Structure 1
Amino acid sequence: MSMAFASFSICLIVLALTVRTYAVISGHTRRPKLSGRTVSNPATRSLAIFLGSGGHTSEAMMLASALDFSRYSPRIYVVSEGDTLSAQKAATLEQLKAADASSPNGQMRKQYKLEMIPRARRVHQSLLTTAPTAILSLLSCIYLVSIKPLLRKGAFRQPFADVLILNGPGTCVILCVAVLLNQLIGLPSPRVIYVESFARVRSLSLSGKLLHHIVDRFVVQWPDLVQRGGREECHGWLV
């Protein structure tokens, strides 16, 4: 009897998790658009940008540089550990924006910080050793997305950012999984926008294929990537 009850309980839990996951993922297409306001400041939205190193960081910097920093504050740059070049590029962009701080919003533009997370997989790392590093990366992302905001004074039930922009590579998938876990258990989470790399002309990247139905908005830069009836959005070249 106890074995049968345990089996039934496990099946019930799996079914509940499956239904909840389906509800969360399918609900992305029905989530209302952001109104451009936060509780702390009714005129701004907090923004997080994942810098994936190399060309991915360059594209992310181009996307960020086109934004009005007076509307997106504070800003969080999520960088893989050891990627000092991406951190330097983020600091340089902030300095350039701050140099144009003659307006009253200049002080707001300086509100940014860097967050470091372990890489899910290092370059040339063997597949056998990838699982431990991916788990470590996921735990770090869960702390960043789920635990750290709860420990912040005066910001209970606020997400670590209102909007999260991703454009690859692999570690961004781990970061998005942490956001999805937040949604599954009902914790506040950012709206996730995935912008496919400019280099992907005729087919999606592996990160894009994995996140296609998980993110809130999926943006591509080439019309050949838009499928009939699909979720892809194409607004031309963004970088």
Structure 2
Amino acid sequence: MFLVLALAILVIYRIFCTLPNRRRPVSQANTKSLAVFLGSGGHTSEALALISALDFSRYSPRTYVISEGDSFSAQKARDLELLKETGAGPAQYTLLTIPRARRVHQSLLATPPTALVSLLSCIYHITLAHIPFPFRKRPPFADILILNGPGTCFTLCIAVYINKFLGLSAPRVIYIESFARVESLSLSGKLLYPFVDRFIVQWEQLQEKVPGAEFRGLLV
């Protein structure tokens, strides 16, 4: 009984230690690898509008995470890379497809199995595929992960948090609430708020309701 209690205390302490510290200074490295989740439709348009303003020579390589069957987001990512191409060499980007945590019109009762499949896929791509082996170095999944919804981004965030819990390399997670959320957070925002390193909203009145949120003006 004592061992179980001690283990539970250690786990809780470890979870507490890995909670995001939003006052932590940001590394000023010259280049950073970037991953961004494209949530389809309006979420994809907003996410690509956000990163289109970045200097791609500094944020490289780039990983576009898309849900299975989302050909729209995949094509939009390719279009952006073509638009930003400088001729200095091939674009350093990849498209990563993961299962959807919840399909369109899927009932809540049927969601846990698909969410679990999505989470396992995220754990593979973020954790297992990047564990370094002797004589074989593997780069981390990304230095920065940008999320803006919808639900599948939650499984991505949990996979990142597992890395942090295990002491493995993990990206700094930035969540940017949708432009459409003026007075209240989306469900994704409410779920991800405790786990992300930076939480950004696009309306000042919403920032006043969310402790620790950042307001940088309209970003899209």
Regarding TM over 0.5, the answer is yes
Which of 31, 50, 74 is the matching residue for 2:61?
Answer: 74
Is residue 2:25 matched to residue 1:32? yes
1:58 aligns with 2:45: yes
CA distance in 2 between counterparts of 1:130 and 1:12 reads: 34
Is the 1:119–1:134 Cα contact (8 Å) retained in structure 2?
yes
After superposition, the Cα gap between the structure-2 partners of 1:191 and 1:92, relative to the gap in structure 1 and judged at 3 Å, is same
Pairwise CA RMSD of aligned residues? 1.7
Given the alignment, which residue of 85, 89, 108 partners 1:107?
89
Is the partner of 2:89 in helix, strand or coil?
A: helix
How many Å separate the matches in 2 of 1:195 and 1:219? 5
In the aligned structure 2, how far is the partner of 1:206 from the partner of 1:86? 22
Q: What does 1:185-204 align with in structure 2 at a 5 Å threshold? A: 185-204=166-185
Q: Name the structure 2 match of 1:88.
A: 75
CA distance in 2, matches of 1:120, 1:229: 26
User: Partner of 2:56: helix, strand, or coil?
Assistant: coil
Distance in 2 between residues matched to 1:216 and 1:188, nearest whole Å: 15
Change (3 A) 1:229 1:123: closer
Letter in structure 2 aligned against 1:94: E
Deviation at 1:169, TM superposition (A): 0.5
Deviations 1:131-165 (A, max 9, x none): 11000000000011101112688544x42100000
Q: What CA distance in whole angstroms lies between the structure 2 residues aligned with 1:12 and 1:189? A: 27
Structure with bigger gyration radius: 1
Question: Residue by residue, what CA displacement relative to the aligned partner does 1:30-64 show, whole Å, maximum 9, x if unpaired?
Answer: 433021x2xxxxx3110000000110000001011
Q: Partner of 1:22 in structure 2?
A: 16
- Given that 1:28 and 1:214 are in contact with CA atoms closer than 8 Å, whether structure 2 keeps it comes out as no
State the Cα deviation string for residues 71-123 of structure 1 (Å, max 9, x = none).
1110000000000100000001001111xx15xxx326x00000010000001
Count, aligned residues: 219
TM-score of the two chains, using structure 2 as the length reference: 0.94
1:161-212 CA-partner distances (Å, limit 9, x unpaired): 0000000001001100000010001000000000000000000111111111
SS at match of 1:12: helix
Where does structure 1 differ by over 4 angstroms across 4 or more consecutive aligned residues? 151-154
Between the aligned partners of 2:72 and 2:126, the Cα distance in structure 1 is 24
Larger RCO, structure (CA 8 Å, separation 6 or more): 2
Are residues 1:173 and 2:167 paired?
no
Choose from 216, 228, 231 the match for 2:197: 216
Equivalent-residue separation in structure 2 for 1:182 and 1:227 (angstroms): 32
Greater helix percent: which structure?
Answer: 1
1:122-137 paired onto structure 2 within 5 Å: 122-137=103-118
* TM-score after normalising by structure 1: 0.87
Instruction: Letter of the 1:10 partner, please give it.
Output: V
Instruction: Return 5+ residue gaps in structure 2 as ranges.
Output: none
Deviation at 1:228, TM superposition (A): 7.0
In 2, Cα distance between the equivalents of 1:166 and 1:223?
Answer: 20
Check if 1:10 corresponds to 2:4: yes
